Structure 1
């Protein structure tokens, strides 16, 4: 099989623990891009937080953002194939967040917003502040999520987290019972909530159709539960060594972890 594209989850996969792409991976990605292989980033992240890596890799493909809630065309600065939640749905989620006492960020069409700074965000801001000014995404502290929902053109995702795992699990179960949302775990204590059907697999499918590339011609790399939908539909699904066994069971095989040059080695085998 001659593969035409490679899709990457970011955190825990393409990115090492320091939130950087290993230099070996950068080098190989440039070589396969020069050969015409399309590289696409598929992430739970907001497009503004994907952009620094898009810029570093000199990509031209749109990014699949917020777990497939929309594609973002950086070259033309526009959102594609967007499926945001309604304001009523966003308010339902906000009520649940408040009821279970968990932390959230709300991702709008423009930026990421938060009410309370938590330890995860503190680490995130260290990364943001280390970037050149023109690459720094806007993450805005707000006084009222209700006002954000009221005034935003689109709400794409609630990024919820808690060190109280039972509370987060109860919240996730309550969301699932509504049968309106996809609640996908992106980390052991973080769950992303978007409209039902907004998955990385569906986002990748939409992109492939637009590019007239068969899904069997795509290689996908991932490490978390929200990557399963794309690992299973791609022609070749590759799990990272740091993935849970259940995630690995949905991939064709697993390689080394995200802190080793295993992606670079695998790409060399497949394309060079």
Structure 2
């Protein structure tokens, strides 16, 4: 990984965009944004720098953070499968799962004994709970009604998946992390879908060819910007594409080793104002704004 000095020497122009993953990166372990990070991002925006959220989350589960930061940029959601404009409250682009793929995936999930969480256009649907989902639902209950994502437990996901206008992705989980790689290989080879691991016990599945990098690049092109003008922060396997494709990729200290190794820089963990520290350093070096 390059040192701060080599980064400074290599840059001819400052970064104009800050791209941020949420869970494990911008959010601390209580699912909150540290005040110091809020202040640093607001200061950057006041200097004309664009801030964009690039997350595996559904837009309804990222809305509270988008509002907390006072952003007007779209969010790249579900690992680049779609972009959501909060001003008009509509997707700008996206590629939901076809009905046949939804049902084939559900059949495989049931056969292999996994849990499934479907990301519909306006809500989440599931048949059985699991610890990570329980934690997210508990967090949702702390939000005001207008910002609270909707979770719906159903007896049978099949009719829901058949009738839904949009299913952006389906997240699956298993108590045994060793079960996920084989499941992912089967889904990719036999169903032709894209997979990315977003936690030790969780796998996200959607249309192939999408990633955080591809979604962010689409937005950058719409703004007349390029990847070299972006400093990106992330912590998980679904962030690797973005960390490698952008001008400067920063991995959190709490990221797995495989993620840290692919970043240009490793900062502190998500329970410290590590993002603020990086942004303040880049500003001091004339590399931000």
TM tier relative to shorter chain: over 0.9
Aligned residue among 144, 160, 182 for 2:156: 144
Which residue is equivalent to 1:37? Answer: 49
8 A Cα contact 2:101 2:191, kept in partner: no
Deviation of 1:179 after TM superposition, in Å, equals 6.2
Separation of aligned partners in 1, 2:239 and 2:163 = 31
Aligned residue among 82, 98, 102 for 2:114: 102
Deviation of 1:253 after TM superposition, in Å, equals 1.2
- 2:109 is paired with a residue whose SS is helix
Deviation of 1:150 after TM superposition, in Å, equals 1.1
Which residue is equivalent to 1:246? Answer: 258
CA deviation vs aligned residue, 1:207-247 (integer Å, no higher than 9, x gap)? 10011111100111011111011111100001110111211
Separation of aligned partners in 2, 1:136 and 1:255 = 31
Q: Which runs of 5+ in 2 are unaligned?
A: 1-12, 285-289
Deviation of 1:133 after TM superposition, in Å, equals 1.9
Separation of aligned partners in 1, 2:129 and 2:191 = 30
- Cα gap change, 1:115 to 1:188, in 2 (>3 Å): same
Separation of aligned partners in 1, 2:105 and 2:139 = 28
**TM-score between the two structures when normalised by the length of structure 2:** 0.91
Deviation of 1:95 after TM superposition, in Å, equals 1.1
Out of 39-48 and 133-142, give the one that drifted further: 133-142
Deviation of 1:198 after TM superposition, in Å, equals 1.4
Which residue is equivalent to 2:139? Answer: 127
Aligned residue among 79, 94, 105 for 1:93: 105
8 A Cα contact 2:83 2:91, kept in partner: yes
8 A Cα contact 2:103 2:162, kept in partner: no
| 1:265 and 2:251 matched | no
Deviation of 1:249 after TM superposition, in Å, equals 1.5
Q: Which runs of 5+ in 1 are unaligned?
A: none
Deviation of 1:36 after TM superposition, in Å, equals 1.0
8 A Cα contact 1:101 1:167, kept in partner: no
Separation of aligned partners in 1, 2:170 and 2:209 = 15
- 1:165 is paired with a residue whose SS is coil
Deviation of 1:194 after TM superposition, in Å, equals 0.9
Which residue is equivalent to 2:70? Answer: 58
1:157-168 equivalences in 2 (<5 Å) = 157-168=169-180
Which residue is equivalent to 1:117? Answer: 129
Deviation of 1:176 after TM superposition, in Å, equals 2.1
| 1:156 and 2:171 matched | no
CA RMSD after TM alignment: 1.1
CA deviation vs aligned residue, 1:108-140 (integer Å, no higher than 9, x gap)? 111111111222122112211111222111111
1:214-233 equivalences in 2 (<5 Å) = 214-233=226-245
1:170-189 equivalences in 2 (<5 Å) = 170-178=182-190, 180-189=192-201
